[in-house]
Amino acid sequence: MSALIRTERLTKSYAGQNGKAAVEILHGIDFSIEAGEFVAIMGQSGSGKSTLMNLLGCLDVASSGHYWLDGEAVDQLSPDALALLRNRLIGFVFQGFNLLPRSNLLDNVALPLLYAGSARQARHQRAEEMLAAVGLAGLGQRLPSQLSGGQQQRVAIARALANHPRLILADEPTGNLDSHTSDEIMALFSRLNREQRIAIVLAGPLANLERIDRHPLGLAVRHPRDRVRGLHRGSPWSAERYSASTSIAPPWPPPMQMVAMPRLAWFRFKTC
């Protein structure tokens, strides 16, 4: 079975200002994600999580390298083709919810279906189903301002599900929520992955790992000098080398030393 996501030597740089050298954010990213996987991309602020998520979501283009999404070579697609691919395959969940403040919940959730050309009745029926799926049945006529932060994020997840995506990209989805509500949102992601077999890629701080209802299959760390190394308790910079897709057995819960990682870590979780 071909990977849902596959990258090869993916890089992203931004031009320097006032004659300064370009700033390289991502360097030589190689990894793949299969359909139905739950993968967390963790790292400190500034490590490139959001940059990578924007590339995976076809919201930005890489400086070099290759990216295949469901077998499509993303770097060879036109802007219109990229938009169609996004709407067909990907649901997005953002830290700031990004709901339309003057539209009710039904219209917010139905927005991807509107872009896809679905009829109004079909859009609202699907929106009602998705609101029910995230625990907000019967609230479709409310405005976002009438909801708590956790409820607004549930609406955003319902919107991400509206177009039957194969992939959900969630960039720090619990960043604006308290710890209890964060636990509920992470449990919701786990349930959606387990029951609907939707691939989920979640980016956020390392501490969020404790909120994912899964056991890790493997991890890898991308170092500034483009080295990938395994990570074990008591030895955060192990000399053993692994690729991002290697299955190893780190301790659980993750050791606290991981907070000091300078770059990115990929974590894969069981989907049983």
- Read off the pLDDT of residues 45-79 as tens digits, 9 standing for 90 and up: 777 888 899 999 999 999 999 999 999 999 999 99
CB 62 within 8 A of CB 24: no
Nearest to 38 by CA among 231, 271, 227, 223: 271
H-run or E-run covering 93: strand 90-94
For tokens 């953002």, the residue is 94
Query: Cα dihedral angle (39, 270, 32, 60), rounded to 10 degrees?
Result: -20
pLDDT digits (tens, 9 = 90+) for 11-21: 898 887 776 77
- Number of residues in the chain: 272
Q: Is the pTM of this model over 0.85?
A: no
Give the burial string for 40-65 (b: 16+ CB within 10 Å, else e): bbbbeeebbbbbbbbbbbbeeebbeb
